Amino acid sequence: MTRPERIRSLGRTARIAAAVAAMGAIVFAGAAPAHADTVRDYEYWLGDYGFTTAWNTSRGEGVTVAVIDTGVNGNVAELRGVVTGGTDVSGLGTPDGQTPVGDPDDSAHGTMVASLLAGRGTGEGSGVIGVAPEAELLAVSVAFGQDTGAEKTNDEQIAEGVRWAVDNGADVINMSLTRNTRDWPESWDDAFTYAFENDVVVVAAAGNRGSGTSEVGAPATIPGVLTVAGVDKEKNASFDASSQGISIAVAAPSEDLVGVQPDGRVAIWSGTSGAAPLVSGLVALVRSEYPELDAADVIERVTQTADPNGHEVPSPLYGYGLIDPVAALESEVDPAEVTPLELLTDWITLHRRATSDTPAPSAETPEIVPIADPPLPEDDATNTLLPTPWTLAYITVPLSLVAGFGTIGALLGIGATRHLRRTVRNREQ
C-alpha cells in the first residue's frame, strides 16, 4: 500500500481485484459460488478472528452504535433497516444524518465504516455483513473542514455529535477520525465526560502511518477511549495502516477490508478507520450478551481477552493484543479497576492545570496544517478515494505533531498508572 487509506472500487458481483503481482491484477468474474459470493469470501476477519463462531452467542441485538462520520446512507442494500436514527451537525446534510456530506471522493467514508460494523448482507451468504449484524446504528454526519455557512468549527461539531449520540440512546460511539494533535479542546472534555457519565463506550481509530505519521492523535489519545490499532493479514502491526501510541488498547485488521459505498458499490479498503468499527462491533456483541456490565467492564472484557500473539503487551503497537471475540464473550474476566470517567477526570485535572501554568506560545509557533498524501504511481490504475487536505486533518490520517509537554506527561502518567495496576494484579494472581 502506498496510501494510508486506499479504496479500490469493485463490482457488486461481477468482479473483484484480488491481488496485484508481477503478472498484474487477478480478477474473478462470473457467477458467485453457491456457498457465498465473492464479496463475502473476502471478509477474512470473520473466520480468522472468530466472529462467525461468536455469532452463536451474540450478534449485537439490542445494542445501538452511533457512527460519527461523514453520514451513513441507510438505503444501500446491506444497511436497510440498520440505521434507526440520526442527525446532521454540519448544516450541510439532511436531518437524519443519512445524506453523506463532503466532497464526493470523501463522503463514502461513513457508509463504509457502518457496513463493516453492522452490515446485514444482501441475502443468504452474499453481500457485506458486519461483525455485529443485529446491532442498530445512529448516523451523525459531520462536515470535516468544510464551510458550513455557520460559526461552528469541526471541534464543535464533534462535541455536539457526541452529546447527541448519548442523548439518543447510543451504547457505543464509533469515531474513525482524528484531530491530528495529541491534545484536544476543552469542549471535548465536557462531551466525552458526558458520554462516560452515561455509560457509553467510545471507540476511536489510532490513525495511519502511511503518510509519515508515527503516533496517534485525539480522540484516540483521550483517556477512557478504547483506541484501536491496525494489523495486516499476517496479524503483524500494519506499517501503512496503523499509528502507534501508549493509548492503544487493542489491535484489529486494517488491511484489505471490504466495505460498501453510498452508491452500493463494494470496495477494498485499508486503514484504522476500518479497524475501529470491527472493535465497535465486538463491543456491541459483548454489551448484547452482558447487558448488566458497565462500560468499564465491557472494555475490560475486550482488552483482557485480547490475544498477545507472541508479543509483550501492553505495547504501543498492539495494546493488549489482537481482538478475540470468542474469548471476550466466554472467558471469566475480573471487574475493571478504573472507569473511563475516572481516567478522563484525572487527566483533565492534571492537564488543564499544567496548561494554565504554561506560558502562551509565541507568535512564531508553527501553524498546524495537514500534510498531503504521497502521489500514487503513474501506472496505478485503481480507482481510489483521494483525501482532501481537510479530510487529512480529520479522517484517520494523523500527522506526527508534538503537543505540549504537560499533555505528554499527563498521558504517560495515566498510561503508567494503568500498566502498574495491571502488573500488580497479575503478580497477586
Q: What is the DSSP letter of 182?
A: S
User: How many other CB atoms are there within 10 angstroms of residue 26's CB atom?
Assistant: 11
Residues of the chain below pLDDT 70: 1-36, 105, 145-151, 209-214, 240-241, 354-429
CA distance 400 to 321: 23
Does 238 participate in catalysis according to the annotation? no
CA distance 138 to 140: 6
CA distance 318 to 301: 16
Q: What is the pLDDT of residue 209?
A: 66
CA distance 59 to 62: 9
Grid coordinates standing for 66? 452511533
Catalytic: which of 37, 69, 88, 256? Answer: 69
Q: What is the pLDDT of residue 112?
A: 97
Helix runs in 65-180, H state only: 109-118, 154-167
CA distance 55 to 326: 9
pLDDT digits (tens, 9 = 90+) for 153-179: 889 999 999 999 999 999 999 999 988
Helix runs in 119-153, H state only: none
Q: What is the pLDDT of residue 385?
A: 36
**How does strand 172-175 pair with strand 64-69?**
parallel
pTM: 0.80
CA distance 200 to 186: 19
CA distance 219 to 183: 8
Closest among 414, 413, 411, 401 to 181, alpha carbons compared:
401
CA distance 414 to 368: 26
Closest among 104, 63, 68 to 86, alpha carbons compared:
68
CA distance 413 to 409: 6
Residue with cell 504554561: 358
> Following DSSP, what letter does each residue of 23-92 receive, concatenated?
TEEEEE-SSPPSS--HHHHT-HHHHHTTHHHHTTT---TT-EEEEEES---TTSGGGTTTEEEEEESSSS
Asked whether 227 and 206 are in contact (CB, 8 A), the reply is yes
Asked whether 66 and 138 are in contact (CB, 8 A), the reply is yes
Q: What is the pLDDT of residue 204?
A: 97
Q: Which residues, including other chains, have CB under 8 Å from residue 289's CB and lie 6 or more apart?
A: 57, 58, 329
Q: Is the bond preceding residue 314 a cis peptide, omega within 30 degrees?
A: yes
Using only the alpha carbons of the chain, give its radius of gyration. 20
Asked whether 379 and 235 are in contact (CB, 8 A), the reply is no
Q: What is the pLDDT of residue 233?
A: 96
User: How many other CB atoms are there within 10 angstroms of residue 153's CB atom?
Assistant: 13
CA distance 197 to 133: 27
Does 214 participate in catalysis according to the annotation? no
User: How many other CB atoms are there within 10 angstroms of residue 351's CB atom?
Assistant: 24
Catalytic: which of 58, 88, 90, 109? Answer: 109
Does 273 participate in catalysis according to the annotation? yes
Grid coordinates standing for 84? 434507526
Q: What is the DSSP letter of 416?
A: H
**How does strand 83-88 pair with strand 136-141?**
parallel
Q: How many CA atoms lie within 13 A of 43 on its CB side?
A: 27
pLDDT digits (tens, 9 = 90+) for 341-367: 999 999 999 888 765 555 444 444 322
Catalytic: which of 115, 238, 242, 273? Answer: 273
Q: What is the DSSP letter of 401?
A: -
User: How many other CB atoms are there within 10 angstroms of residue 1's CB atom?
Assistant: 16
